[in-house]
Structure 1
Amino acid sequence: MRYKAIISYDGTKYQGFQSQKNALGIQQVIEKAFRLMTQQEIKIYASGRTDKGVHAIGQVFHFDTEIDIEEKTWIRGLHKRLPLDIRIKSIKKVKDNFHARHSAKSKIYQYKLAKKPSSVFTKNYEVYIENLDIEPIKKALPLLEGTHDFLGFCQYVKDKPTIKTIYSATLKETKSHYIITFHGNSFLKYMVRSMVGTLIQIGLNRKDPNIILEIFNTKDRFLAGKTAESRGLYLVKIHY
């Protein structure tokens, strides 16, 4: 039978989600917890990879097993064997044709920009940029919406289509943060962080908001801003 799990994690200590030979990935930590709990090798399949230092509020993975137990038993058993920076939010039975990655319709990412310098307790979960002007960023965000070739906003991966659709790109202001939210059908490697890096340059008045259109037209990665740091990025939700 197949199960769907929703998890959250603090990506600070990990080299990304995917299992790696010479570094610690979140996937291998979860699979080890399954092995310790069930005495079986259970492989998990995620909605996508997150990079080193990126956090998740609602990452999704699926797994197959003949073990038939209740959700609370799965969660309790795994939490006993997982570090506190990885938490299981839910585990539900799903149809056999469900796939965490292939069944996904869209994803939501958020990037947190702090209004004041980070403290020792917040430095891994936000990015502070001095003298950031938020008004030109607000003008630039709508230019990212729609269906475009995002080759200029990513690290190119061979045979990976670069035409994507951003349904919305918005900014919300709280007392302590500017939170930029992207909702899109899918995202390329470093795409969100490249867009944010460009928005930061716009907010520092080093680039004009219309640079977004120029990057789409030329597909020139060198016109975009430096890739923003991973610690401000969160995978929020996967829509199915």
Structure 2
Amino acid sequence: MALPESNGSLSTKIENKIATVQFGHPASNSFPRQLLDSLTQELNNLSENSAVSVIVLKSVGTGAFCAGASFDELLAVSNQEEGVHFFSGFAHLINAMRTCSKIIVGRIHGKAVGGGVGIAATCDYAFATADASIKLSELAIGIGPFVIEPAVSRKIGKTAMTQMTLAAHEWKTADWALEKGLYAKLAHDQVELDIDIDHFTSKLASYNPDALFKMKKIIWEGTQDWDTLLLERAAITGKLVLSNYAKNALEQLKKK
């Protein structure tokens, strides 16, 4: 799928019933709204593809897995409608991941921040490298992880989510994330990571696709209200991002 360079990249490869979806952006694999929408649509398409049983979600490069929301687009928000529109992109992506009929396996090869943590948490099963530390930095920039909170809390629990959110400047290690259940397995490096994922997804893709579909529905039981809940959360963040605190904090971070 071709995107303007400023909006990042998205590609999909299907082989042996495994669809590998790779997103990327020059700014630490952060998400402008168009890339969020493209990934959401791609997952919706794959959900209907009978040739696919498993999806591997990964990002490009060897640096960060995902830095969350695009700073440039956050700074460009000038009114509440624009703010809600931007953060609803994350709401739609998370909902597409949870309602997708295929099991989604995350390949977390590096650090994840904010929305990147939300994406990792929404994967049904996530592999990560030993340096894939995580941070919820939203409070430090005047907003909060409101849209992704349900996904993060569901995966690691409300207490661990609270610890991450309130310690907004603090990185949590990959070992911490493994202990809390965000990651299912850690690898020493990307070579080992890919070996582990290939072995796991090959096994998974050999299982009865109908059983996988029914298991997916059970995994996400009790989240039906997220269709409206996450959009309500987007409205909260969309208003907060307009504050002087948020604008100043984003400007300072962009200069670093």
- Structure exhibiting the larger radius of gyration computed from Cα positions: 1
Same fold (TM over 0.5): no
Higher relative contact order, structure no. (Cα contacts within 8 Å, ≥ 6 residues apart): 1
The interval holding the TM-score normalised by the smaller chain is under 0.3
TM-score, scaled to structure 2: 0.20
- TM-score, length basis structure 1: 0.21
